[in-house]
Amino acid sequence: MDGFTGSLDDSMSGASVSDVNDRLSALELRVQQQEDELTVMKAALADVLRRLAVSEASVCASKKHAGKGGGALREAYSMSSIANGGTPGRKRESASVTRKETMSSAAKSGAERKKELGSQRSQMEEIQEREELPHPKDLSPSPSSPHPPQNLQQQRAPQSTDGSKANVPPKRGPSVKRSQSSPWDAPEENRNRLVKAASTSKLLTKVVKNADRHKEPVISQDGSHIKMFMRGRPITMFIPSDVENYEDVRTELPSERLKLEWVYGYRGRDCRANIYLLPTGEMVYFVASVVVLFNYEERTQRHYLGHTDCVKCLAIHPDKIRIATGQIAGVDKDGRAVQPHVRVWDSFSLSTLQVVGLGTFERGVGSLAFSKADSGQHLSVIDDCNDHMLTVWDWQKKSKIAEIKTTNEVVLAVEFHHTDPHIIVTCGKSHIFFWTWSGNLLARKQGIFGKYEKPKFIQCLAFLGNGDILTGDSGGVLLVWSRSSAETPSGKGSRAFQISRQVKGHEGSVFCVCEMRSGTLLTGGGKDRRIILWDHELRADRDIEVPDQYGAIRAVSEGKGDEFLVGTSRNFILRGTFNDGFQVEVQGHTDELWGLASHPSRGMFLTCAQDRLVLAWSSEDHSLQWSRTLEEHGHCADFHPSGAVVAIGTHSGKWYVLDAETTDLVAIHTDGNEQLSLMRFSVDGGLLAVGSHDNFIYLYTVSENGRKFSRYGKCTGHSSYITHLDWSPDNNLIMSNSGDYEILYWDVPNGCKLIRNRSECKDIDWATYTCVLGYHVFGVWPEGSDGTDINALVRSHNRKVIALADDFCKVHLFAYPCSTPKAPSHKYSAHSSHVTNVSFLYNDSHLISTGGKDTSIMQWRLVERSLLSLPDGLLSHPAPPGVDPPFPLLPPTGSTHKPVLPPIANGTQEPFPETPPPTTTPPHSISTPPPSDSTVSLKDSLEPSDDTATPSDEGLPPLPPPS
């Protein structure tokens, strides 16, 4: 989102771009819904035909009467097939993938409608499948040419003994012929027939129930192949010869587990005030659904994993130990709402102290703040709903004290007054409100600008030592708001705040302000990218400009000594001083991320995204090795087996070859004008396969250690875009998948010829396994999938496990092979968007996963289950060693010392009665977490769902569901 560069765009955080994307997504969903309604109609008509045929057979009426009775509806069904242009599958699939790649994160979170409609399509198309006759001439049917299972053929056989073809609807397709009573011959009559037939849609519920019985995979009678169904289409997979009896095949959970080791990236493009330095020397920030605690001196990370969707805001308790983070609303894969809420947690033990606001917030937590004057006993929260509701909580009791509508305009910040516990300030578009809080009442007083120009946005606020309020606005002006002397403190209500001083601060907007320990202030500008230090008299003392390549300033925070931390709109976190300039501590991608490739012999991996950036990372020291900007949006990549070069495919059909060491451009080629789905070198590096959205696989011979490429041939035969591809160990064969659920095999030495008899390839031990459709991996598919739920799959080099990236923010770990339906898996949550890719490092020590819209990169460590001891399972990341705090700690006041329960990996807590409570130490101690005012029950965590990291994934017993 680069809409922040202008002053107005700076203020809105790219809201206009997001709004346009949301509208486009809504229109796409409406078109898809209409297509689905047509599919349901056809399915209802097909069910009528089936019921009619059964009735005719049982009654044994005269053939003449039966023909008349079924003719009209069969003719109507035939017309329906013609009028809607044959099979719409391919068109729908392309639209589905286009939506997934372009829709905004807000539309992405509305996946429950997609799942519901996709499930209906799957069931309806399956019923239509049963009505089509088999094609005996086709020995190796493709998934796009559906055949009914044998048991269904046997069931239908008695119905066709009369020799009449009236009971079989015509096959739909581009070459279907018009029936004698086509819509063009008798439009009025046929329209009436269609309306009659449409009334049978009342039977839809029963149709769905009948269809459910035929969604399970079907084994052939001779045991040679198995068919799974995707949106009603059969996908045939041949069973390898070494499987003597498929009924004996079992798939167990893998002994390996994943532990999150490192998170690359930062969310700065559309957030603010989300970087702070803790007493442990760690900076705290967030990306995706992970809150990261990063010690930049020791190069270590710890992670709070309690959230179930995008974290949007962050606040630090006055004791500098407890932290509150708020998340947005979402939907899990089963269509259940993931409710927005605030989690208050301990930064030492990573244990969750309270979960606040479940069922209260509508869209998400926009901003939040702890109270200051009463030592953080209360929490104020702004909901991102239309009314931007302001709520005040006693967070330790999880009780809501007050609630009120603020405004329909955007609210950007909320803060408690530092010295007056009854004053709350909110600001945003064209307003600043001063709220007087008394009991469960909130009274609003609007800030009056009078002779001063009213800004479009008030972006940030801070409190001066004398109790005055400082605001920064979109015009680059700093305003000081002081209490009016016209009212006395003993009068009813608090005194109003009025502007007492105006200072021109920045060119463009003042995006953030930070109060320093010395009483001075730091402000950050959006357009001018300047950081200014202001003295006690609000005079500019020093300033420094953030280099343009880092983007506009989004957050400023005080660091150690004279250092300060800066978050930018291009997702950089910088550490700098006015004397020495800036040093990059954290960086990542800024747009949707898809491309991922691991180096064949080093602990290095590469990512490319729609931001045109190509980044090479070291998995060992977790640092960026090099970066390069392309002219096109990157989408896929692969290293040459020598590791000397890397090939990168883009959205335009152009692909680049870069030197993996110097980043020099080695070659540029173009294949078609559509998006490239994958780049895949053969095992010996002598060939390169390029999969495209134009349905072709382009092959190149490779020489000079990956520096010379010559066109060799083209694989033609897929009916949809290429999705996945693998090579055989001898470099002679290719297995590929497409968006039409096809599994095709290609003979490369014989002119890239399509292998018609697919059973010939059933015993090939593929060098890699990234195809998502095939006998060895079909068990990874969830029930009711629409075929787009799995974005990437990869087999480990030791052939023990399969890692999978899905559309529901999850990384899965399956055992290999995975050849039984609904196979069990370990699931892991950290991403907050569709997981787009996964890749094992060359030695299988780590797994890398990439998030789409969340732009994050997660590095997971593979751990044998035997190594997951109980202490490791209890503490995903141990508390940091005791260090001298960079600033003094404020002890929590009025608290009752109670033991803090040990946390589990997702930030929730599990009691262990046999463990004695820890010895309580004074609140100033760094080595132990602070005492809490309340005990924590299991109900404090969210409802168990697939969006939370399951305790079983960390070697612990699962939490009981809340009562």
Sheet containing 708-715: which strands, arranged edge to edge?
676-681, 687-692, 697-703, 708-715
Quick one: pLDDT at residue 32? Answer: 73
Residue 38: per-residue pLDDT: 79
CB 535 within 8 A of CB 522: no
Which pLDDT does position 264 carry in this prediction? 98
Burial class (CB in 10 A: 0-12, 13-18, 19+), 205: exposed
Closest CA to 786 of 27, 103, 130, 100: 100
Whether the upstream peptide bond of residue 817 has omega within 30° of 0, thus cis, is yes
Question: What is the reported pLDDT for 36?
Answer: 72
The residue whose two tokens read 């018609």 is 756
Predicted local confidence at residue 868, as pLDDT: 54
Residue 438 pairs in a beta bridge with: 441
Main-chain phi, psi angles of 8, to 5 degrees: -70, -45
Integer Cα distance of 916 and 906 in angstroms: 23
Using CA atoms in the order 245, 248, 249, 251, what is the torsion angle rounded to 10 degrees?
180
Q: Which two tokens stand for residue 813?
A: 């770990």
Strands 687-692 and 697-703: antiparallel
Cβ(338)–Cβ(308) below 8 Å:
yes
pLDDT in tens, 763-791: 999 999 999 999 999 999 998 888 899 99
Please state, in angstroms and rounded to a whole number, the distance separating the CA atoms of residues 864 and 845.
11
pTM: 0.73
Please tell me the predicted confidence (pLDDT) of residue 865: 75
pLDDT of residue 474: 93
Residue 82 confidence (pLDDT): 35
222 residue type, one letter: D
pLDDT, tens digit, 9 for 90 and up, residues 783-835: 888 889 999 999 999 999 999 999 999 999 999 999 999 999 999 999 999 99
pLDDT, residue 135, reads: 42
User: What pLDDT is stored for residue 866 in this prediction?
Assistant: 63
Rounded Cα distance between 881 and 865, Å, is 27
User: pLDDT under 70 in the chain at which residues?
Assistant: 1-19, 57, 59-214, 485-495, 866-963
Under 8 Å between Cβ of 719 and 700: no
Residue among 741, 622, 640, 642 nearest 688 (CA): 640
